[in-house]
Amino acid sequence: MGVVNQNYHSQILTKKGRRIHFDSIECMFSFWNHNSEKVEKVWVKNYQSPKEWIEIQNAKFLKADNLPSPMEANLSSYKTQKEAEDNRVLYGGILMTQEEVMEYVKSNWEKELAGKGK
C-alpha cells in the first residue's frame, strides 16, 4: 500500500537496514508490536509539518475521531506538546503517550480491524 497522506506516514528501520514505510501510525505500531526484535529505529511525521520526521521517543500523540487517519484509529503525531494540545483543542480527542498508543493498538485497534475483515 502506498502512502497517500503524508501527515500519517511513519517508518521503521530494521536491524538489517531495511526501511519499512506505513500509511498510518497504527499500522506501524502493529508491525512494531509483532516484530519488536527486528526494529532498530522508528519515526513518525509531524502532522503540523508533514515534511518533518520525528524520532518516536520524541513524538506526542493525539487520538481524535474528528481527525480521521487512513486505517481508522484516528491517531496523529506531533513534535511538541503544544502542537498536540492545539489540535486537541481544535478536533477534540485525547493526548496519548507512546506506551498508551502501543497498548491501544494491541488491545483495541487490531481487534476492531479483525472484526471488520480488513
CATH number of 6-113: 3.30.450.410
How much of the chain is helix, strand and coil, in % rounded to 5? 40, 30, 30
The pLDDT score that the predictor gives to residue 71 is 85
The pLDDT score that the predictor gives to residue 108 is 82
Average pLDDT over residues 65-90: 95
Asked if the model's pLDDT at residue 116 lies above 80, the reply is no
pLDDT digits (tens, 9 = 90+) for 16-62: 999 999 999 999 999 999 999 999 999 999 999 999 999 999 999 99
Q: Is 92 helix (H, G, I), strand (E, B) or coil?
A: coil
Asked if the model's pLDDT at residue 118 lies above 60, the reply is no
**Total Cβ atoms within 10 A of residue 90:** 12
Whole-number average pLDDT of the chain: 91
pLDDT digits (tens, 9 = 90+) for 13-24: 999 999 999 999
Asked if the model's pLDDT at residue 107 lies above 80, the reply is yes
